Each structure stands twice: as structure tokens, then as C-alpha cells.
Structure 1
Amino acid sequence: MNWLEPQEQLEAREEQLRQQVNALSDAERKAFYQEQSKLIKDPDTYATLNYFFLGGVHHLYLGRYKRFIAELILLVIAILSFLAGSNGLGIVILVALALYELPQLFLSQKIVRQYNEAKSREIYEQIINSGSPYRQ
């Protein structure tokens, strides 16, 4: 996902997918929306997790486990640095984490829209796959 992607590109991809889904049969469209409702994420939940919890908990919400683990490890190192009396290292790590997390907080709507579009496209691709039980 590209944080710098122009909004128009994302909207164009979403519109193209909407048109493709509308062209599906009723059974396929129903299957698409049923599966989509299970996978779609809420941008406000993502932003709230980012705002209130340190250590990348919002990455768990989108299933980005490697990013979560990396941020959690950095947070633990920062805390251990403070406890060991090496405040400089702890401050540097916390500032770096904050500088990395702030854009994600402010771009949470776009990040989650990109995630939702990608998941929706995956569902669509599965449904139009010739092996899909919904193909007639």
C-alpha cells in the first residue's frame, strides 16, 4: 500500500471494482458482499487503536503481524532503555516510533480504504475464478 497514492487513483480502482461486482450474477454478487462484510475493516477503529495504544496494535487489526512485532520490540527496547538509565536511546526510539506512527494516524482513512479495496479485489478474483461454486 502506498500512502502517497493520489486519492483519485484509489477512487478509480474502487469504482472499477464496483462496476465489476455489479456485472456479476445475483448469486455471485451476494457471495461477494457476504464475504466482504467479514473482511472489511473500519478506519475509525484503526485510528483509535493507533491513537490510544503504543506498540503498533493497529497493525494487528489489519493482520500485519510483522509490523506489529517490530514496533512492539522497539517499544520494549525503549522501555528497557529507560529502566536501565539510558534515557537517550529510549527517547530516540520513542521519537522514531512517533514519527512513523503519526502519518498512519492522519492517513488512517486512506490506509484502511486501500486495505479494504485490496481485500475486496481478492474476493472478486476468487469469485470470477473458474473454480468458484458461484460461476454458472
Structure 2
Amino acid sequence: MGLKFYINGTVGAKDGTLVSSGSMTSPIVFGGMYPGASGSQVSKTIFIRADDGETWRDVNVQFKGNTSARFEYSSPSSGFITGYDSGNPQVILFLPKVTSNNISFVVTAKAFSSESTSPDTSVSLVAWGWQS
């Protein structure tokens, strides 16, 4: 039970590929950024939804990890972006209500032109809220 992340879904539907937590069977890969001659970025649409029959309120989605400053949210289909950190102004995605239908948002990962090796752009998405 709970909130889960998906890729390859449709807004408002109950489809997509579950992004596994722990087994890495279907991770979200932000590839193709190295080498970043003038800085590079890759965007992916991600979906969140609750398990069937569940409703979650005041849901916060946040990046976790020491590379979180390389990631930004944009274009939520429901909710809005809030929070501020000098290293990453788009810190928290706030969703007032999450049901068993997909809500989409875009995550953009960045690499910097000053990097001389392929950057580690791994980050975790975490979500929490109140089940009602």
C-alpha cells in the first residue's frame, strides 16, 4: 500500500511501468548527457499514483541524495512546485491529492560542462503525505 512512481504512463490512467524501489528492475535513466560540452540536460516524465482505493492528501515529492541539486521539477499535471534552496530552487513538488490515477510531472537532470568524467546523476524520489 502507498504511493508509487511510474514511467511510460498516461495522465489520469492506471498504466505505466512501475519504477522498482530497491531491485533496480526498471530505473529511470537520464542518459546521454556526457560529455556535456556546454552543459547538458535530459528531461523525463514521471507519474505518481496511490494503490487502488487509496487517497493521499498533502503529498510531498522530494529528491533525496547528494546529487539532488542536479535535478528539477516542472509541469505537474496537478499540484505545484514549492520550496527554495540556494543550490536547487525547485525542491519540493506538492500535490494536494493523489488517488489511484496517474499524476504526471517532469524531472530534468543536468550535467555540467566542467565535468571531465561521466557524472553520477543517481537520485531517489521520495513521497509522503496523509492517507485519508
TM-score interval for Structure 1 and Structure 2 normalised by the shorter chain: under 0.3
- Higher share in helix: 1
Q: TM-score, normalised by structure 2?
A: 0.25
Q: TM-score, normalised by structure 1?
A: 0.24
- Higher share in strand: 2
